[in-house]
Amino acid sequence: MKKFLKITGIVLGVILLLLFLAPFVFKGQIKDMVRKTINENVNAQVTFDDISLSLFRNFPDATLGIEQLLVVNNAPFEGDTLASSEEIVLQMSIWELFKSGDEPMQVDALTINDTDLNIKLDSLGNANYDIAIENDAPLADSTQTGSGFQFDVQHYEINNSRVVYLDEGAKMQLIVEDLNHEGTGDFSASTSELSTYSTALVSFAMDGTNYLSQNRIELDADFEMDLENMRFSFLENEAKINQLPLTFDGFVQVNEDNNEIDLSFKTPSSSFKNFLAVIPEEYSKNIEDVQTSGDFVVNGVIQGIVDETHIPRMDINISSENASFKYPDLPKSVEDITISTEIKNETGLAEDTYVNINRLNFRIDQDVFSANGNIRNLTENMLVNLAAKGTINLANLDQAYPLELEQDLNGIVTADVTTSFDMNSVENEQYQNVKSSGTATIRDFSYASPEFPNEIRLATANLNFQPGTVQLENLNATTGETDMALSGTINNLMGYLFTDQNLKGRFQLNSNTFSVNDFMVAETETTSEETEAESTTPQTTETTGEAIKIPSFLDVQLDFTANRVLYDNLVLQNAKGNLGIQDETATLNNVTADIFGGNISLNGTVSTRQSPPTFNMDLNLNSIGITQAFNDMELLQNLAPIARALEGKLTTAIDLRGNLNQDLTPQLQTLAGNALAEILDARVNPEQTPLLSNLDQRLTFVDLNNLDLKDLQTKLTFTNGRVEVQPFEFNIKGINATAGGSHGFDMSMDYNVNLQVPAKYLGSQVGNTLSRLSSQELENTTVTLPVGISGNFQSPSINLNMQQAVNDLSQKIIDSQKENLQEKGRDILGGILGGNRSSKDTTATNQTQRRDTTATNQQNQQEAVKDAARKVLGGILGGQKKKQDTTNNK
C-alpha cells in the first residue's frame, strides 16, 4: 500500500510539474501560430503585447490569452482603428497543445473583454471590416487542414465592450455601449439551440436626428440554429427596451446576397405602465407603485429582405385609449390620455418609411393639450406636418410627473399652431418654404437659476406664426432693477428646433432701467486658510465663479434704447444703439449714452469664443466731467492717474484692445492701443495727489493752482501694462512747461518736465552781480529747469536738475555781458579812429593794458555770476513760497 501511494504521489508530482512547465514550453509555439494565423487571414495591421498560457485558470482546459490586441486598417481606411481589445481568451483542451505545427487547434470557448469595435461604411460603400484575405479553398477544407485555430465553440462571452456602427452613405449611426453578451450552444452541429443573454445601452441617430439616446436594452432569447442554411429562429424570448417588455417570434436567415427577416413582436400585457416603461428609468423613476388605468399596446411586424437597396417592410402600431396615471407621492394625475401612432413602410425602400401621429391627447386638471401630424420621407428630404393646440400650466408638470428640475416651473402656455416644411428648405435657410400659422402665448412665467442674482419674471409674450417667420410681440419681463419690453422677428425657429442651426432674428428692446449686474454670473468667495506655522501671513480671499459666456446658439441683431443703464457703479442715461451677437461674439454698433455730464459713444467687439475672452473697442468721451469720470472708471484712473486732481471738462478718443477676465472686465496688463485727449477747461487741486502736492512744495516760485490746462492736447499709447505719454506743453501763470514720459498700470512712473522760469521771478535775490542786465533783458530772460519724476504716484521721487539750471542762467548772463563789452569796444574803437594821430603810441599801450585787465575781470565775473546763480536758484527753490505779486505781472 505504501508503495502504491508513493508511486501515485510521484505521478501526481510529475503531472503538476508538467502543468507548471507547459506554459513556458508551448508559449513560443503558440505565439508563432497566432501570428501566422493573423498574417494568412487578415489584410490589416495587427499587433498584440503578449500571449499568456495557463493550465490552472479553467482546469482541466488550457486557457490562452491574447493581451492588448490592436487592429488598424489599411487603405482605403488607412490609420483608422477597427478594433482594440484589452484581452481575448481562448479555452481549449490541454491535449490540443500537443498537436503538431501542421494541425489546427480546436477552440471550445471564447471570451472578449473590454473591446472597442468601430465599424464604418464610407459614402462609396466601402466597409472597414472587410479585411479578410480571400482564400480560394472551400471553407470545409480550410478549417480542417493546415495550421491555425479551428473554432468549435460551445460558449462565448463579450464583456464590457463598445460597438460603433457608422454608415456615411445612409447618414446613420448606431452606438452600443456597456455591451455584455453571452451565448451557449453547439456550433459543431448543423442544427442546435443557442441560449443568449444580452444587456447594453443603445443610441441611434439618422440624418442628424437622435431616435434613441442610451436606451437600455435587455434580451433573454433562445434561438434554433440551422448552420447549414444559416437560419436563426426565435424560440422562447423576452426583450426590454428601457422597462418596456416585448416578446418576439420569427426568424432571420443569412443568404449569400442578402438577409431575410420575418419578425413579429408585441407587449405581453396591455397595462398603461408599458407606456411609462418606454421612458428611460432615470426619468420615469420607479413605476411599480404608479396607479394606472386604460391600456397601452405596442405590436408590429417586420418582414422582408435587407440588402444594399432594401429594408424590411414594417407595420408598427402604438395605441392607448382613455388612460391615466398617478404617481403616489405627487398630488396631480394625468388623465384622458389617447395615443394612436403608426410607423409603416409598405415598399421595402427606406425613403418610403413614414410616421403617422393620428392622435395625442392628455389633460392635467382643466388644461387640455392635443397634437397630430405625420413625418414622411425619413431618410432623404424629410417632410414634416404638425399641429398642436391646447393649454399647459407649467407648474402642474412636476406636480403630476417626477421631473428633477433645478428650479420650479410656472407659467401658462397656450398654443394653436400648425406647421409644414421640408428639411432641405430648413437646412438651406429657404424659409419661404416653411408654412406656419397660428399663435402661442405665455403668461406669468418666472425662471430662477443660481446663474442669475434675481428671478426673471415674464408677464406676457406672444408668438405669431407666419409663413417663413415668427413674430415676437409684447414680451414684457423684469428681473432685479431691470425692466424690458421686447419685440421682433425670429427667422428660423424650425431650423433652431429641428436642426443644429443657431437662432436667428432681429429684435427691438426698450427699457426704462437696465442693470447689467442683473445678468452677471453669481460668484462665490473661497478663503485660503493658512497653517498655524504660517499664521503670520495674511489670509487671502479668492473670488471664483463660472465665466460669463456669450451664447453660442444666438445669431441675432438687437436694436435697443434705455433711459437708464446701470453697470457696476456707472449710470448711463439715454442709451441707444445696436448689439449684434454671432459666433460667441458681441458687436456694438453706434452705441451712445449720456454720462459724467457729457456723452459717450462706442463701437467694438467682445468675444468669449476663446479663453481668455478678448475685446476690441473704439471709445469716445465727449465733454465729460473729469472728477467724476476718473473717480468712477478704473480704466481712466490707470491711463492718467494724475487727472484725479483736475476739475473741469475733458474730451478723449480711446482705441484699445486686450484680454478680459471671467466677469468680462479688462485685464489691464494685456491692454494695447492709444488715446488722444483734450482738456476743454480744468482747474487743479494739488492736494488730491501726492505727486502734485510734492511738486507744489518743491517749486516754491510757482503756484500749481495757477496751472493753465485749457485746450491742452496730449496723445497716449499703451501696451504691456505701460502708458507712453508723448511730450505736451502747458503754462503755469507765465512759466511755460513741456512734459512727457511713461507710467505703468502698477502706478510706477518715469517722467521728465522742463520748466522755462522767467528771470524776472528771481526779483531782488539777483543782487548787484546780475544788476547789469537791463530791464528789457530781465523781462525776456528765462532759465530752463529740468525736473525728473520717478517712483510711483503715491510715493513720488522728484529730482530738480540744479546744475543744468545754473549753467543755463550763467551762460545767458555771460552772453549778455559779452554783448555789452562788444558794444563798448566798438564805441572806444570809433573814438580812437576819429581822434589825434600824435597820441597813437600812447593809446596803443593803454589798449593792451586794458585788454589784459578786461580778460581778468571777465573770468572773475563769470565765476561770480555762477556763484550768484547758484545762490539765487537755491534760494527761490528752497525758500518759502511767496505770495503772488500782481504788480510785477501787470
Tens digits of residue pLDDT in 213-265: 788 889 998 988 888 888 889 888 888 887 788 898 999 998 888 889 999 99
What pLDDT is recorded for position 525? 40
Whether 263 is covered by a domain: the verdict is: yes
Average pLDDT over the chain, rounded to whole? 76
Domain count, the chain: 2
* Residue located via cell numbers 473717480: 631
Distance CA 166, CA 586 (A): 37
Whether 367 is covered by a domain: the verdict is: yes
The model's pLDDT over 616-650, given as tens digits with 9 standing for 90+, comes to 988 888 888 777 777 777 777 777 776 665 667 77
Distance CA 752, CA 553 (A): 53
The model's pLDDT over 191-218, given as tens digits with 9 standing for 90+, comes to 888 899 999 998 888 766 676 778 888 9
What pLDDT is recorded for position 455? 83
Distance CA 734, CA 664 (A): 47
Whether 516 is covered by a domain: the verdict is: no
The whole-model pTM stands at 0.61
- Cβ pair 479, 436 in contact under 8 A: no
What pLDDT is recorded for position 98? 59
Helix (H/G/I), strand (E/B), else coil: 577: strand
Of 381, 404, 427, at which residue does a domain stop? 404
What pLDDT is recorded for position 2? 45
Q: Which range has the worst mean pLDDT, 35-44, 291-300, 302-311, 511-520?
A: 35-44
- Cβ pair 124, 168 in contact under 8 A: no
Whether 388 is covered by a domain: the verdict is: yes
Of 373, 404, 435, at which residue does a domain stop? 404
| 76 cis-preceded (ω within 30 degrees of 0) | yes
DSSP 8-state secondary structure symbol assigned to residue 409: -
What b/e string do you get for 403-412 counting C-beta neighbours within 10 Å, with b at 16 or more?
eeeeeebbbb
Whether 815 is covered by a domain: the verdict is: yes
Whether 256 is covered by a domain: the verdict is: yes
Whether 693 is covered by a domain: the verdict is: no
What pLDDT is recorded for position 879? 46
Q: Which range has the worst mean pLDDT, 435-449, 515-529, 601-615?
A: 515-529
Question: Residues near 193 by Cβ (< 8 Å), separated by ≥ 6?
Answer: 185, 222, 223, 224, 225, 235
Of 369, 404, 439, at which residue does a domain stop? 404
Distance CA 202, CA 165 (A): 11
Q: Which domain holds residue 806?
A: 748-830+864-876
The model's pLDDT over 474-513, given as tens digits with 9 standing for 90+, comes to 899 998 888 999 999 988 887 777 777 888 899 999 999 9
The model's pLDDT over 560-603, given as tens digits with 9 standing for 90+, comes to 999 998 877 778 899 999 988 888 888 989 999 998 888 999 89
CA dist 226 to 109, 249, 260, 784, Å?
A: 20, 16, 14, 112
Q: Which range has the worst mean pLDDT, 86-90, 397-401, 870-874?
A: 870-874
883 pLDDT higher than 70? no
pLDDT bucket at 308, cuts 50 / 70 / 90? confident
**Residue of higher predicted confidence among 673 and 316:** 316
What pLDDT is recorded for position 882? 43
Mean pLDDT of 371-378: 91
What pLDDT is recorded for position 518? 75
CA nearest to 753, candidates 702, 695, 708: 695
What pLDDT is recorded for position 469? 87
The model's pLDDT over 754-799, given as tens digits with 9 standing for 90+, comes to 888 776 665 444 444 445 555 555 566 777 878 888 888 778 888 8
pLDDT bucket at 551, cuts 50 / 70 / 90? confident
463 pLDDT higher than 80? yes
Distance CA 259, CA 311 (A): 10
Q: What's the CA angle centered on 811, arms 808 and 817, to 5 degrees?
A: 145
Whether 847 is covered by a domain: the verdict is: no
841 pLDDT higher than 70? no
DSSP string, 697-750: HH-TT--GGGEE-TTEEEEEEEETTEEEEEEEEEEETTEEEEEEEEEETTSBEE
CA nearest to 753, candidates 812, 799, 687: 799
Mean pLDDT of 666-687: 75
Mean pLDDT of 23-27: 48
What pLDDT is recorded for position 19? 43
